[in-house]
Each structure stands twice: as structure tokens, then as C-alpha cells.
Structure 1
């Protein structure tokens, strides 16, 4: 094993492989209507980032732990050990009628790919504050908005900073302890959106913070809502933890895991974009869902209309819970549990090893940590999450068929000896059932000839390639160092499709922005990378 100075690697890659990793798995169950048992409501205040004074960074070095369904910090009881089993091969016969089988069959050679930009984002030492980073980023026509646990920064697409503030300062919340932010860009309405949460307060109603820009300038004005929740699902003092963020054409979508102080429930809700963008008061129902149920973001340039809105939860040992929402923007929003999709997997069975230290990292608990995606006319929902692969932390990705209640899945990892974790996924449909798919994750490789610490990597699939195993073919984007003090990692990463063409020869829908964490000198740093693939890019 190499010494402590070994670099950390974060990798992701785009390839074209024309074999599917698994046949669709049978599943499904009778639909169950989910009754609304709570409400959220708020009126906004207006914050103009052009005149909003930068706030002093709070001297916070640790955040509350990300908790599992048992209410305990994720990964705290997982052992740290060296796996000796070989990772299984995951290639098999091509699925003829599964997801991403439209379009022309592609050659086995890797597809052309271009790194348009690859630059450092916010870091812990330079104002990011608490660990882990909770890194994610949204991308508009000319700007990138990055959020981490204690800061918001806007860059141009080459990495030049345009504005920055603490997360609490950005939202106009003074000294409030604000954390777990996420962001997305609405390319139909030219708006940036941010969500974040805060600690529960004894005797007070649970709350979240939601902000939407008033125009296309990420450094401009925002309507900021303090969303307050009431009803049977929301006892006073509750922490609305790990807020997810997604969108369809007409609504902002979210869900949370709720603690008081132990795990109580998980809830999902949606709110009208028209009301939020107009700065109007909002009121909406909330529904009980499975632990870590993630909203499904509708993709398309512009965001397209869909008949239904979906939410998905990963359930280790079982597969997936698929929820279907109607009238997401209201009035009369409803939710049904459409199916339990059989596609069993195991959550990571041990922690992530590093080079040169016995300190290990948390790979989370197999939850879907980043919002899955669906295209307007496609029956497939694309997703990714962590799993156990022969005793190694690994990555699973694939697609759920909403018309068949089945899943087509494949594994992804950097090498036969790597620990792979913290994945996110983005996709764009360029023709019926023909997708570009970007998969972004982190890895360490203590079994490599040259030991590798946490590194950013990417891998991907082009239209017509099905759902291939993405193993030993990824592209490492940045290499960092190990850490002996930050035992949690990321909590999530992100992939979002760029709404404009990267160049005159690179059509729209072929470029995505990836955000991921790694370590530099023992503290966390983040990386923002724009990746295009296909001829002409």
C-alpha cells in the first residue's frame, strides 16, 4: 500500500457499450392511494443578491450526521476491512425492448468526449464551513450556481467567480443554522432554485427554506420562502432532514426524512412554480412516503410536459418503491404508491478505505441520494445509488419502467479493487428511447499498483447502448489526498444537463455539469466539470 500522500480520485466517463447489464426484473403490486396528512405554507420575502451584504462565515466545523431509517448516523456501525472476493462480471445479453435501445447500434469503441471545463469549486478551508460538503450545482445558459453546506457561489462556465455568500446570508437568514442545500435550474422559465433546511426547534413547527430567482441572473433577486409544515405528519420540534429537490414542468418537487429526535417518517410534497415565481403565498399538501424517497426530475430543453410526476425510493433487500403524483401544481394534488418493483440489492457492507491511513469514509446506506430523471415521452426513470458488490462499496444505475413496473440495472466501478460511492446521474433523450446518460461518482483504490484516494470520475452511455455495465472504463477527472479528520463524504453529488449547446458543432443535450467532492490536504474540496460527448463535441 502506498503512503499517505497518495492522491484521491474522482472519476466519471462516457463510453458506448452495446450489451445490457441485466434483463428487466419482474415486479409490481396493486396501487395504494396515499392520503395527505399535512400541509406546507409560506409567504416570501425578497432578497437581492446584488445588494445583499456578504455574511461572515460561522466557525462551524461539523454538521449534524446524515441519519438512516434507524435514526443512527449512516455508516457508523459498518466495519472497515479489505475485501478479498472478486467483483462479479455484470455483462450479459443485450435487452431488446428495454431502456435506451432506440436509435442506431453503436460501436464498442469509446465515444468521442470532450472536457469543456474542469475547475475547483468551493472548498472547506475557503468558506465552505461544515463537513461534509453536500456539494451540488445547477447550470444555466452562462452561469453555474454551486451550493455546499455553508456557502453559495456563482461562477461563469470557465470557473470565474461572479458572486458568493454564506448559505444563510444568501437566503437572508442571518445567523440561522442552515444546511443540506440543493439547487437546480428551470430552463423553461429561466430560474435558479435552492432548497435547504435547519434544526428543529422544540415547540415550533418544522420548517424548510426555498428560494427561486426572479430572473435568469443567479446573482440577482430571489423570492425566499420559509416553508412551515403542520398536520399529523409534522409534530412540533421536528427536523426535516436531507431535503431532496426536483422539478416537473409546472411544480417544484421535494421530500425529506424527518426526525424528532429519532426517525419519525418521510414526507413528499410539490408546490406550484407559477406561484413561487410570482412571489405569491403558497399552500400545498404533504404525503407520507418511504425513507429517502426522491422526486424524479423531468428533463428536456425546455422542461417538457408530462402526464404524471414520479417519486422513487430504494429499498435494500427488495428493490424500489414507485410513487405517482397527479396535479403536482395543484389544486387537488394526489399521490399513489404505484408499485413495489422487485430488484433486490444490498447496501454497502463496509466503509470506504483510504491509502496511508486507517481512517475510513461513509458510503451511505444504499439510498437514492440524487434526484432520478425522466424524459417527457419516455416510460423510463433513470436512477443511481450505492450498493454492495462482493464486499466492496459499489455503484448501481439503471432505469425503472413506469408502464411495466420493472427495473433494468447494471453495476459501475473503477476497477476490480476500487471502492466506489457517492454517485449521481443525468440523462437527456435525443430520440424516442435513445438517451445520453452521464454517471458521476467518487472512488478510492487501495489495491491499485499506485494507491488512489478519493477521486472524481465519470462514465456514460450513448443512445442505443441499453444499460451496459460501466466497469474499468471510467475517466478520472481529479485526484486528491486522503483525510484523517473528515470521516463523512459528500452526502450527495450532482449531474445536470446544460441547457445550451457547448459549441456550434456540439448540439444541445450533449453536455452536462458534474459536481463532486474530493480531499485536498485533509479537508474537502469540490470540483465542477462540464463534459460533452458525441461527434462534433
Structure 2
């Protein structure tokens, strides 16, 4: 970058951030008003049946999200990841029922609990239940409300309960003309009290994906509108709440979001007030995520705007940028966009379409509640847990706190909930009046070992638990029976807190039975309504470490109940022996204390795992399910370290002298420093260095070797690295291997948003499913399988996501038999074979040449739409639509015996490592025992020994440091035949 460009670059960022520091303020961009139309109580005589059709709602508004390839953090695993499920026992759901069966695509499930009713809606109908799940009003079209809703069924409904007025709201949008339709119940009974209905114009713009929130001075609506001009056009709408509750003519005002960066589809959120105390009027917050993978965003952050409406003079109303919560505020980097912005993301079991993960969206609702010493808001959105791997959806959630009205918001806690390999998305989050947080979500898993169709589950955490962790056991509301027949899912779920008690969560989401979408209601509670309920929630210590004979046992006792408790019997059991003690102090309701037993435990056996079970035995305890918790504690050996990953170099073009980077992990029970390390390229001499820093128990560290590795020749390399710690307890975890190639070309840059390319690859022991597109190139050379050239014919199984027209989707395959990093025409084993149908397996046979060189080779496979730019059969050409993948194969010959191999194919190498220490290498896949001998020039035998194949060949470390200078001969083979190599000891 020249100096002029550099100056402009800094000027741009100065203006950008300085303007933010000045808190850009915007005025309303559209104002209007609407009259109320009175609608009578809902009677069965005027109920309009819901439409029973397989209708896709509003597909035209879900434009693809745009990202900058390669831009953004994290570059690896999400730093806020919770990778293990909570262990605190949670109570089973209180209520579970299916609310509706529909084929509306998506169904847009939404529902709220009021004091006496549960109001449920979907595309584009509604129903009403009592709080026991009994149906009071059967499913009916939204047109049944009457008034402005007459004959209106366009969809995207939202239902809201205004706790401060004991009223219900129902909304949908209209395109005749473009407007919001809002119905406000005239009283607390949505069946019998009648409705006021309003039509608020949106000035010839369809208000896509609306979400409503309650604030003291208005009903706020956020939308997905005017993505390219969201900082100037109408995005946020506010309705005059006070007048709507009275059925009077109400004003309506809309605002842009100054300073926002969008990347296509987007969805901000307003803070939805709940609880017993309203927030002060004004300063209504709007929040949205900003992903640094998008153009114009330099850091992942949450952006907050404040809206102030002057209903007496709407021209005085404002919206202003208020805060940017980034890394300095406690927001960890996140990846909120999947598949380069495309909307087919999460793979289902079977051949069903990939599901839309609902990316770039603040999920509904963003719940605000006031406490004695702070205000809290909870929110969530979906993230890709590790963008370097195949898509793995998790839920990034936050609790923000505000210590005093008008003060800045602070990140109190954050977490990314993805406790196993399943995808979790479509979350909805709430906070009860005790500060406990409930999270409902959808689970999906396409793995053959654990297939999960879209299913609805929940978890949560108690106020006072470890920050950033959903500590409760995951519970199921309903397990899916079928895949989603469409990629559209949701488009949201809806969790609310029951205003009748402030602690019961109602969650509404969809699952599938065949072609049908079912909206399911699950009701659960974290806080207890029991008087006597005490249990154990954690074993605090000991932890995995080097332990002794007198380890103190510390546990966390929680009073789940609503009454204060004391004199609580507590016990732990170890090796069949139980220790009983009493915690005699008071524990207030809904609070926890740590208790340390006076009797210690003997955990001194090195390497042993101890199962410790702890329980409370409170007399009259009303919920014994949470009384007990157990945990396995390991007595770790003091010295045990190893290399757990080779981070670099990676496969690329034009490699040379490359830095070798590894991750070292301390598996032992004591901190370690001055750790001897080594790396090796193939069977060449090892490079040995020492890490002089310190690694704590359970910690890891990235080490970059000072001596580089020469990878300048185009070919595949095997890299290995490990530790040589003296007295290391477990040598099996010391080392790791990786494969890397120096290639003459890597054809990156293809587009596979339409599903072009290879999505499934199976050859021998290689099974690669759910293959991500990324930039069109996939480095899978660490995947390897044996191919027996004596077998001749091999079968390859492939799939593609692309529905080909006229068999244009084709593939070709090469094996680099001469190991020069290039794929020549005579190495192409399959040419332009057709993949005729999406998500179907095709089997292709190919032959290995009879004289194919034994050993490891690179395999390249390319697939794409041949009607467009790029030559499929030119291995370096960038295809307009397609993918290129590289794998490894190891060619063997089961008909070739060891003696033939030694005489005709084997190469014997003797490498001088250091100070007359040599490494003798015979690379082969044979596994029978051979013999090694060393003779001097006089024919005297200096050494004879057995040598085994270690997986990479026959390798023998030969110490000649005590031998006289001169010429020696080394031989490896059988007693009948062998290879001989001459070497010199200096």
C-alpha cells in the first residue's frame, strides 16, 4: 500500500470511528397515523378456517448474505464455546402439547402467555388456549379477527403480551397496500373482549420479518428492509402505545439505523420490557450484531441505538448510535454467517435439503427485565462454532446489564452453547424474575451414529452460577420424527415468561411429521415453587491434578426452594465408603453456598480415576431428583505433555523454507517448562528444540520452531512432531502427524452457492460427508486409504447438491503417480463422468495402472457445471461453478512378496543425523519382520538385529559414535535377499 492510500485508509477510519464517537443522530424518515376499527369478541360463527396449503411465505425477501472471503475472526474455535452439557439436574417439562399442524413454509411459530391465556399464531392463522393447554378457540385464519384483518392472510404474524396493560397484540403485514396490520385486545380476555385493529402504512415498502417489542412509550417494530440503505431508510417503526390501548387514532413513526453495516438479509431487535416495573419513557434500545466478515466492519461487536419519540411533535424524535460493545467490552469474536452467506446450511439425516440456520439475525425475543440494583437484557443469535471446519451451529447468547437508568450497557456474561457435535439454532431466550435464564432451541444432527431430525429442547442456568455457562441438564420437549422437507425453517421460535408467576417459561417452535409442520408448545420452570428443596449443583474441588492422600472435598449446595433452610445433611461416597456431615448454617431461598467436608479423601494413586458421589438428605425434601451429583476425578501423573496439533505449514503453492508451528498440551498434574520438542519431515532427520516457557495443568501453548522445514519440491509431505519430556508418564500422547503438499496449483475461487461440486466422497477407508464449499477448494490430503494395484478395479461413491440439467454436472479424477505435485493427463483415471441427480449416490469404477508406483500419492478430484467458464479436465483451471478436492492414497501390491520388493522396488537410505548417529530407512508397506546387519570393509559383522515396520517403513536408529572411522556396509532384508548401502563414519 503506497503512502497516499495508507493516508486515505487512516483518514477513513478516523472519520468512521470519530463519527461514531459523536453518536450520529437521525430524524424520522416517515410519519403517519391510523384510526382504530372496533372488532367484536371472536365468535365461532365468524371463524374463518385456516388455509390448508403448502405455501412458501415471502421467499423474495431473503436475499443471500454477502461476506468478504477470508475476512473476519475467529480463525478457529469460538472462544466463548461451552463444549460440555450442563450437569445440574433439571425438572421435566410442566406441559407439552402440539398447537397446530400446517404446511405453511415456514410456519413462523409465535406465542405468548398472559395471566389466563396462551395466544398462539403461525402463517397465517391463530388459536387460543387456557394455561392448562385446553383449546378455547380452534385454529382460525387471522382474517377472523375482523376489522383491518378482514380478508388479510399475507403472514409473518407476531403475537405479544403487554404485561403492564394486560393486553395482547397480534400483527401481520399486508401488501394491499404495504402496511402493518395490528390488533390490540380491548381487555385481558383475547376471546371475549374484542379487538382494536389498525392499518399503519409503510410507504410502499413491504415490512419483511417484523418483530415487535414493548416499551413504556410505544410498541417498537424492527424489520428486514432496505438493506443497502438501512442507515438512511425506514427500518425501525414505533406505534403510539398509549392511544392504541384506548382505541384512539394513533401515530406512527419510522427511523433508519445510522451507522449500521448490513450484508443482505438482516434483523435487528428491540428490547422487550417485561416484569412488574416499566422502564422509564424514552431511550428505547435497538440492538444488532455486526460481523467482521462483512465489508465495513473491522471488529465483531454488538451495536446499540437509542430511540426517543416526541409524540407531541414527531419531528423532534430521534434515533442515535449509543454504544458499540466489542472485544474491549467483553464480546468474543463470532462468525454469524454460514456458507458464504447462502441460506442452505445445516445438513439433515437422509437426503433432505439443508436447513437455513437463520444467520445474521437477532433471534426473537430480546427480553428486558428490571431488578433492584440493575436492569438486564438477554439475547441470542446463531454462530458457526469453528468456521475452518464443516458448519457447526451453536447459539451465542448474552446477558447485558445496566447499573442505573440512562447508564451504558455492559456485557455481564456471554456464552456459545454447542455442547456436542449436533447443530443448535433457532434459539429463543428469557430471564425470569429471579435472574434465572431459560434457553429454548432446535437440535439437528446428520451423523450416522446419532441422527437427529429437527427436535426442540431447552436448557438454562441459575442466577449466581458460573458465568457464561448453561449449567442445567439439557431437556427434550419433543423429538422430531422426520426431516424438514424444505430449507426454510422457523423463521423464528418464541419463548416468553409467564406473567402470572414470573418464573415459568413457555416455548413455541416447529418440528416435522412427513410433509407436515407442527408447532409445539413446551412449558418449563427453572425456579422452584417448592418450600423444601435442597440439592448439590457442583463438586468444586478437587479437580483433575496430581492428588494426594488428604484431599479436601468442596461442593456447592443450592437451596432451590422458596424457604430458608439450615442443618442440611450432606454426604460423599468414595470407593464404597460414605462420609456424613451437617451444613448447619442458613441458606436463603434461590441461593447457593460452598461447603468443604471436614474429612478429607485419599486420592493418591497415580493415574487412577475416582468416582465421587455427593448428596443432600434434607428431611421432607420435595424434589429428590436434584439431591445427588457425581463426578470422576483423575489423579494425573505429574509429568505428561504432548503435541496435540501441527498448525502449520499447510498445503499451498510455492512452498519453500516454512515455519513449523505446533500446539503443546500439558496432560499432567503439574506445570511444565523447558520441554524438549522435535519435528520431522517424512523419515528425514529430526529437528530438536526446547520450549522454555511454562504450561499450566490442562493448558496448551503454540510453539513455532526456529528452524524451518524445506518443502520446496512439489509433492506430498508427512510432518510429525512430538515431545521428549524426561519421565513422561504416557508416551502414546506425545506426538501428532499431519500431511501437507506443495502443489503447482490450487484452483480457488469457484462458486458453489447453487450446490455445484462434490458434497460426498467415499473411497476405501475415506468417507467424507457434508463437504463445505468454502472457496471451491478443499484440502483433504490428511484423508488416506490403501489401493491395491493387484486388485485392479476400485469403486468411488460421490454425491452433489446440484440438480443437473442435461447432465452438465461432471467430474474427473487424477492420481499423481510420479509424485511431482502435478496432475498430468496420463494420470487422469476418470474423465468427465456425469452426476445426474442431486443428493443421490453414484458409483464409478476406475482402474489402477499395473505399474503404478507403490507408496503415498496425491489424488485430485474436480466436479462442476461444464456449461460455464473453466476446463474440468485441466486440473489448475478455476471453474465458475464447482469444487476441487485433494486426498491421499497409498498404493500397495498384495501379490508382490517381500523379496521381489527388496530386489526390484525398495530404496535403502542412510541419513547422518548428528555425531555419527544414523537413521537407516527402507520405506515400504510390508509388515513382516526383517533383519538389519552392519559390517566393516573387512567383512566383520558389527551388528545384527530385527527391525519392524513402524507404519512408515523399516526405520532403525544406528549409533556408530563408538565405532572406528572408516567405511561400513548396512543391509536390511530377509536371510535370502536384501538391500545394501555403503556409508562412512568420520
Query: TM-score, normalised to structure 1's length?
Result: 0.78
Instruction: Give the drift of 1:516.
Output: 1.0
- In 2, are the aligned partners of 1:74 and 1:362 still within 8 Å (CA)? no
Q: Quick check: 1:222 aligned with 2:195?
A: yes
Instruction: Give the drift of 1:369.
Output: 2.6
**Distance change (3 Å), C-alpha of 1:151 and 1:374:** same
Q: Quick check: 1:247 aligned with 2:238?
A: no
**2:161 aligned residue:** 185
Cα separation, 2, equivalents of 1:227 and 1:468:
41
**1:13 aligned residue:** none
Per-residue displacement from partner, 1:184-216 (whole Å, max 9, x unpaired)?
Answer: 1112211011111123x5xx5x31111110001
**1:282 aligned residue:** 250
**Distance change (3 Å), C-alpha of 1:64 and 1:385:** same
Per-residue displacement from partner, 1:225-256 (whole Å, max 9, x unpaired)?
Answer: 01113xxxx4x3x2111111100234211122
**2:416 aligned residue:** 411
Q: Quick check: 1:396 aligned with 2:392?
A: no
Cα separation, 2, equivalents of 1:355 and 1:91:
25
**Distance change (3 Å), C-alpha of 1:529 and 1:241:** same
The alignment partner of 1:257 has SS state of coil
Cα separation, 2, equivalents of 1:151 and 1:113:
32
**Distance change (3 Å), C-alpha of 1:399 and 1:277:** same
**Distance change (3 Å), C-alpha of 1:117 and 1:280:** same
Q: Quick check: 1:373 aligned with 2:367?
A: yes
**2:302 aligned residue:** 320
The alignment partner of 1:274 has SS state of helix
Q: Quick check: 1:268 aligned with 2:236?
A: yes
**1:82 aligned residue:** none
The alignment partner of 2:143 has SS state of helix
**2:324 aligned residue:** 340
**2:95 aligned residue:** 117
Cα separation, 2, equivalents of 1:67 and 1:387:
24
**1:382 aligned residue:** 378
Per-residue displacement from partner, 1:416-474 (whole Å, max 9, x unpaired)?
Answer: 210111111111343xxxx1111111011223734111110111121122542338942
Q: Quick check: 1:31 aligned with 2:23?
A: yes
**2:446 aligned residue:** 446
**1:311 aligned residue:** 286
**Distance change (3 Å), C-alpha of 1:111 and 1:473:** closer
**Could you say what the CA RMSD is over the residues aligned between the two structures, in angstroms?**
3.0
- In 1, are the aligned partners of 2:357 and 2:425 still within 8 Å (CA)? yes
- In 1, are the aligned partners of 2:90 and 2:475 still within 8 Å (CA)? no
Query: Is there any run of 5+ residues in structure 2 with no aligned partner, and where?
Result: 1-19, 67-75, 261-265, 293-299, 340-344, 531-986
Cα separation, 2, equivalents of 1:315 and 1:227:
30
Cα separation, 2, equivalents of 1:320 and 1:261:
19
- In 1, are the aligned partners of 2:57 and 2:106 still within 8 Å (CA)? no
**2:427 aligned residue:** 423
- In 2, are the aligned partners of 1:209 and 1:224 still within 8 Å (CA)? yes
Instruction: Give the drift of 1:375.
Output: 1.9
Cα separation, 1, equivalents of 2:123 and 2:458:
23
The alignment partner of 1:239 has SS state of coil
Instruction: Give the drift of 1:286.
Output: 1.1
The alignment partner of 1:193 has SS state of strand
Cα separation, 2, equivalents of 1:448 and 1:262:
45
- In 1, are the aligned partners of 2:274 and 2:368 still within 8 Å (CA)? yes
Q: Quick check: 1:163 aligned with 2:156?
A: no
Instruction: Give the drift of 1:114.
Output: 4.8
- How many residue pairs match? The answer is 459
Cα separation, 1, equivalents of 2:36 and 2:504:
34
**1:54 aligned residue:** 47
The alignment partner of 1:275 has SS state of helix
**Distance change (3 Å), C-alpha of 1:453 and 1:484:** closer
Query: Is there any run of 5+ residues in structure 1 with no aligned partner, and where?
Result: 1-27, 76-84, 93-107, 501-507
- In 2, are the aligned partners of 1:180 and 1:243 still within 8 Å (CA)? yes
Instruction: Give the drift of 1:310.
Output: 0.8
Identify which of structures 1 and 2 has the higher relative contact order when contacts are C-alpha pairs closer than 8 Å and 6+ apart: 1
- In 1, are the aligned partners of 2:142 and 2:152 still within 8 Å (CA)? no
- In 1, are the aligned partners of 2:88 and 2:472 still within 8 Å (CA)? no
Instruction: Give the drift of 1:30.
Output: 4.0
- In 2, are the aligned partners of 1:355 and 1:446 still within 8 Å (CA)? yes
**1:363 aligned residue:** 357
Cα separation, 2, equivalents of 1:284 and 1:491:
26
Cα separation, 2, equivalents of 1:485 and 1:393:
20
The alignment partner of 2:107 has SS state of coil
